[in-house]
Amino acid sequence: MTNDLHWAGIDLEIPFHDVDMMAVVWHGHYAKYFEIARCALLEKIGYNYLQMRDSGYAWPVIELRIRYAKPAVFGQLVTVRAELAEWENRLKINYLITDKDNGARLTKGYSIQVAVNMQSNEMCFVSPRVLFEKLGLVV
């Protein structure tokens, strides 16, 4: 995707409290790293979770996939990139975690979220107009 608005990246140093006795990141923490990058992306487009709620929509995660290539370890500097892949009927965000120093791929994955009208509690089959507006696709 070429639109600069459609991706965000964050850097983080792997903290001690995220690793096991072998200094390797416990697998469940990768979802947290994805979430941090996802929040940076949503903030960048001006539609963070509070703004979603205020617009009348909840966006629950309904699917999460993580593929581990190499382990991240205590003290390692990593970059987590979140990129918007789909937005018409759902919000699909692709993630890539790389070593900050050498660019080696460590982990990749994606999450899928759907819009739920908070008033009716019904899932939307088309993303709400507000998302398209935030992405600059509707004037």
Helix/strand/coil (H/E/C) assignment for every residue in the chain: CCCHHHEEEEEEECCHHHECCCCEECCCHHHHHHHHHHHHHHHHHCCCHHHHHHCCEECCEEEEEEEECCCCECCCEEEEEEEEEECCCCEEEEEEEEECCCCCEEEEEEEEECCEECCCCEECCCCCHHHHHHCCCCC
| The pLDDT value given to residue 120 | 97
Please tell me the pTM assigned to this model: 0.94
Q: Is the pLDDT of residue 96 over 50?
A: yes
Q: Is the pLDDT of residue 1 over 50?
A: no
Q: Which domains does the chain have, with CATH numbers?
A: 4-134 (3.10.129.10)
Predicted confidence (pLDDT) per residue in 22-61, tens digit: 999 999 999 999 999 999 999 999 999 999 999 999 999 9
Q: Is the pLDDT of residue 4 over 90?
A: no
| The pLDDT value given to residue 139 | 67
**Mean pLDDT taken over the chain:** 96
